A and B are shown apart, each in its own frame.
Chain A
Amino acid sequence: MASLIACPHCGPRPKEEFTVKGDAAIARPAADAGEDAWYAYVYLRDNPRGRHKEYWHHTSGCRRWLVVERDTLTHVVYSVSDASTQGGTA
Chain B
Amino acid sequence: MSSFRLSKGGRIDRARPLDFTFDRKPMQGFVGDTLASALLANGRQLVGRSFKYHRPRGILTAGAAEPNALVTIGEGGRTEANTRATLVELYSGLKAKSQNRWPSVHFDLGAVNSLLSPFLGAGFYYKTFMWPAAFWEKVYEPIIRKAAGLGRATYEPDPDSYEKCWAHCELLVIGAGPAGLAAALTAGRAGARVILADEGFEPGGSLLTETAAIGEKAAADLLGETLAELASLPNVRIFSRTTVFGWYDGNVFGAVESVQKNTATIDPNRPVERLWRLAARHAILASGAEERPLVFGGNDLPGVMMAGAMRSYLNRQAIAPGKSTVIFTNDESGYRTATDLEAAGLEVAAIADSRAGAPSSWAGRAPVFPGALIQDAKGGKALTGVTMIKGGTPEAIEADALAMSGGWSPIIHLACHRGARPVWSDAKAAFLAPETQDGLTIAGSAAGVGALEACLADGAEKAGSVLRNLGFSNASPAFAPAPDTATVTKPLWYVRGAKAKAFVDHQNDVHLKDLGLAVSEGYGHVELTKRYTTNGMATDQGKLSNINAIGILAEARKVSPADVGTTTFRPFYTPLSFGALAGSSKGKHFQPVRKSPLHDWARKNGAVFVETGLWYRSSWFPKPGETTWRESVDREVLNVRKNAGICDVSTLGKIEIFGKDAAEFLNRVYCNAFLKLPVGKARYGLMLREDGMIYDDGTTSRLSDNHFFMTTTTAYAAGVMNHLEFCAQALWPELDVQFASSTDQWAQIAVAGPKSRTILQTLVDEDISDAAFPFLGARQVSLFGGKLTGRLFRISFSGELAYELAVPAGYGEAVADAIMQAGGPHGICPYGVEALGVMRIEKGHVTHSEINGTVTPADLGFAKMVSMAKPDFIGRAMLSRDGMVAQDRLSLVGVKPLDPVTTFRTGSHILSEAAAPSLENDQGYVTSSCYSPNLGSTIGLALVKHGPKRHGEQVTVWNDLKNEYTKAVLCSPVFFDPENEKLHG
| A57 and B250 within 8 A (CB) | no
Contacts of A24 in B (CB 8 A): 730
B730: contacting residue among A65, A76, A77, CB under 8 A: A65
Which residues of chain A in 33-49 are interfacial with respect to chain B, using CB atoms and an 8 Å cutoff?
Answer: 33, 35, 38, 41-42
Which residues of chain B in 846-905 are interfacial with respect to chain A, using CB atoms and an 8 Å cutoff?
Answer: 871-872, 876-878, 881
Q: How many of chain A's residues touch chain B, expressed as a range? A: 35 or more
Contacts of A29 in B (CB 8 A): 877
Stretch at the interface among B535-543, B581-589, B721-729: B721-729
| A31 and B249 within 8 A (CB) | no
B731 within 8 A of A: yes
B731: contacting residue among A14, A15, A85, A89, CB under 8 A: A89
With both chains docked as a complex, state the minimum distance between the C-beta of B271 and any C-beta of chain A, in angstroms.
Answer: 20
A57-B725, A57-B726, A65-B729 known; A75 vs B249 contact (CB < 8 Å): yes
With both chains docked as a complex, state the minimum distance between the C-beta of B408 and any C-beta of chain A, in angstroms.
Answer: 31
B142 within 8 A of A: no
Contacts of B872 in A (CB 8 A): 30-31
A29-B877, A57-B722, A59-B722 known; A3 vs B729 contact (CB < 8 Å): no
Contacts of B877 in A (CB 8 A): 29, 31, 33, 35, 38, 42
B391 within 8 A of A: no
Contacts of B248 in A (CB 8 A): 3
| B733 and A84 within 8 A (CB) | yes
Contacts of A75 in B (CB 8 A): 249, 418
B90 within 8 A of A: no
| A3 and B725 within 8 A (CB) | no
Contacts of A35 in B (CB 8 A): 877, 881
Q: Roughly how many angstroms separate A83 CA and B779 CA in the complex, as a whole number?
A: 35
Q: Mark A48-70, 1 if CB is under 8 A from B, else 0.
A: 00000001010100011100000
| B730 and A42 within 8 A (CB) | no
With both chains docked as a complex, state the minimum distance between the C-beta of A28 and any C-beta of chain B, in angstroms.
Answer: 6
A29-B877, A59-B722, A74-B419 known; A3 vs B252 contact (CB < 8 Å): yes
Contacts of A38 in B (CB 8 A): 877-878
| B732 and A89 within 8 A (CB) | yes
| B726 and A42 within 8 A (CB) | no
With both chains docked as a complex, state the minimum distance between the C-beta of B281 and any C-beta of chain A, in angstroms.
Answer: 11
B285 within 8 A of A: no
A79 within 8 A of B: no
A1-B249, A4-B279 known; A84 vs B722 contact (CB < 8 Å): no
A8 within 8 A of B: no
| B691 and A42 within 8 A (CB) | yes
Instruction: Write the chain A residue with the least CB distance to B279.
Output: A4
With both chains docked as a complex, state the minimum distance between the C-beta of A89 and any C-beta of chain B, in angstroms.
Answer: 6
B277 within 8 A of A: yes
Q: How many of chain B's residues touch chain A, expressed as a range? A: 20 to 34
Q: Roughly how many angstroms separate A25 CA and B742 CA in the complex, as a whole number?
A: 33
Q: Roughly how many angstroms separate A28 CA and B877 CA in the complex, as a whole number?
A: 11
| B249 and A2 within 8 A (CB) | yes
| B279 and A55 within 8 A (CB) | no
With both chains docked as a complex, state the minimum distance between the C-beta of A36 and any C-beta of chain B, in angstroms.
Answer: 11
B690 within 8 A of A: yes
Q: Roughly how many angstroms separate A87 CA and B558 CA in the complex, as a whole number?
A: 59
| A42 and B732 within 8 A (CB) | no
Instruction: Write the chain A residue with the least CB distance to B719.
Output: A19
Q: Roughly how many angstroms separate A73 CA and B718 CA in the complex, as a whole number?
A: 31
Contacts of A74 in B (CB 8 A): 419
| Residue of A29, A42, A77 most packed against chain B (CB within 10 A) | A42
Q: Roughly how many angstroms separate A57 CA and B729 CA in the complex, as a whole number?
A: 10
| B419 and A88 within 8 A (CB) | no
| A31 and B250 within 8 A (CB) | no
Which residues of chain B in 676-703 are interfacial with respect to chain A, using CB atoms and an 8 Å cutoff?
Answer: 690-691
Instruction: Write the chain A residue with the least CB distance to B248.
Output: A3
Contacts of A28 in B (CB 8 A): 731
| B730 and A86 within 8 A (CB) | yes
| B730 and A31 within 8 A (CB) | no
| B249 and A21 within 8 A (CB) | no
| B729 and A64 within 8 A (CB) | yes
| B733 and A88 within 8 A (CB) | yes
| B279 and A3 within 8 A (CB) | yes
Contacts of A17 in B (CB 8 A): none
With both chains docked as a complex, state the minimum distance between the C-beta of B59 and any C-beta of chain A, in angstroms.
Answer: 38
Q: Roughly how many angstroms separate A35 CA and B250 CA in the complex, as a whole number?
A: 41
Instruction: Write the chain B residue with the least CB distance to A15.
Output: B250
Contacts of A77 in B (CB 8 A): 250
Q: Roughly how many angstroms separate A4 CA and B279 CA in the complex, as a whole number?
A: 9
Contacts of A83 in B (CB 8 A): 726, 729-730, 733
Q: Roughly how many angstroms separate A83 CA and B732 CA in the complex, as a whole number?
A: 10
| Residue of A3, A14, A83, A84 most packed against chain B (CB within 10 A) | A3
Supply 16 A–B pairs (Cβ within 8 Å), ascending by A.
Answer: A3-B248, A3-B277, A3-B279, A19-B722, A21-B726, A28-B731, A31-B872, A42-B691, A42-B877, A55-B726, A59-B718, A64-B725, A65-B729, A75-B249, A75-B418, A85-B733
If A3-B250, A42-B691, A76-B438 are given as contacts, then 20 extra A-B residue pairs at C-beta distance below 8 Å, sorted by A number, are A1-B250, A2-B249, A3-B248, A3-B251, A4-B252, A4-B279, A14-B166, A21-B726, A31-B871, A31-B877, A38-B877, A57-B722, A65-B725, A65-B729, A83-B730, A84-B733, A85-B733, A88-B730, A89-B731, A89-B732
Which A residues fall within an 8 A CB radius of B?
A: 1-4, 14-15, 19, 21, 24, 28-31, 33, 35, 38, 41-42, 55, 57, 59, 63-65, 73-77, 82-86, 88-89
- List the 9 closest pairs (A to B, CB-CB), nearest first: A3-B252, A3-B250, A84-B733, A31-B872, A2-B250, A83-B730, A38-B877, A65-B729, A75-B249
